[in-house]
Amino acid sequence: MSDTTKSRTKYALVTGAARRIGACIAEALHQRGCNVFLHYHRSGDAVSRLAEKLNARRTDSATIVQADLGADDDIEHLAAHVRAHTEQLDLLVNNASRFFPTGVGSTTPSQWDELMGSNLRGAYFLTQALLPALASAGGSVVNLLDIHASRPMRGHAVYCMAKAGLQMMTLALAKDLGPQIRVNGVAPGAILWSEQDSGSQDQQGIRQRILKKTVMGRAGEPQDIASAVVYLGLDAAYVTGQVLAVDGGRSLNI
């Protein structure tokens, strides 16, 4: 490896980077020396605070860009923003996701489009738009999946189907894009409870049943996911087409 390659600034794009797991992933990549593109859809205030914090640590190391990943023009706008800053993208993290229940028999086309668009379609077409930059860097893609991509969750059929599609996309693109670009996935278990979780007694009971089936006996932390993303995205030079479950062993008991 040449001195020029060693000294080149690495760039990473994290979708859904404003809050929760996405923000933690962005911070972890930034700590590893990456300049980060912080994508957001609606959480403008949160992403601005994150960018300000990261830029205070290292000047001009974080930029923000708004896009609706369900809109083709917005996907191209996001890709163009990256290309305007660098010809080489070392890591794309497809983290953005929508999550809500859908009842079989009452699912609407708009619910289908929203879940499929945010979890699968947007990730595919964004990856496609950034292929030249990823290939130029010898970069990688990490997709945020879900243990329910392969083991369905009651009442969430469309979400599970979308994540299952993203899991197959991970495997298929790893085969199609190698050896220039590596593609892997991280499948979280119980890390952060859903924002739709009211904290009611019923919801608390559900939480306890989930944790009882988790070998580690507790929920995980966003940093657990961020560490897995950093490993697969930056360190695992001979790993592609793999899905790493970060679930405390919960998938053993589903």
Decide: 149 and 187 in contact? Cβ < 8 Å: yes
Please provide residue 213's backbone torsions phi and psi, each rounded to the nearest 5 degrees. Answer: -90, 0
pLDDT in tens, 31-79: 999 999 999 999 999 999 999 999 999 999 999 999 999 999 999 999 9
Q: Which residues contact 113 (CB under 8 A, 6 or more apart)?
A: 70
Structural domain boundaries of the chain? Answer: 3-248
Distance of alpha carbon 106 from alpha carbon 7, whole angstroms: 55
pLDDT in tens, 125-163: 999 999 999 999 999 999 999 999 998 889 999 999 999
pLDDT band at 24 (very low <50, low <70, confident <90, very high): very high
Which residues are identified as catalytic?
159
Q: Which residues contact 43 (CB under 8 A, 6 or more apart)?
A: 18, 19
Report pLDDT for 254: 72
pLDDT band at 103 (very low <50, low <70, confident <90, very high): very high
Return the CATH number of the domain spanning residue range 3-248. Answer: 3.40.50.720
Name residue 148's amino acid: H
Report pLDDT for 251: 82
Label residues 10-36 b or e (16+ Cβ within 10 Å = b): bbbbbbbbbbbbbbbbbbbbbeeebbb
Report pLDDT for 189: 86
Axis crossing angle, helix 222-230 with helix 20-31, rounded to the nearest 10 = 50
Per-residue pLDDT at 195 exceeds 90: no
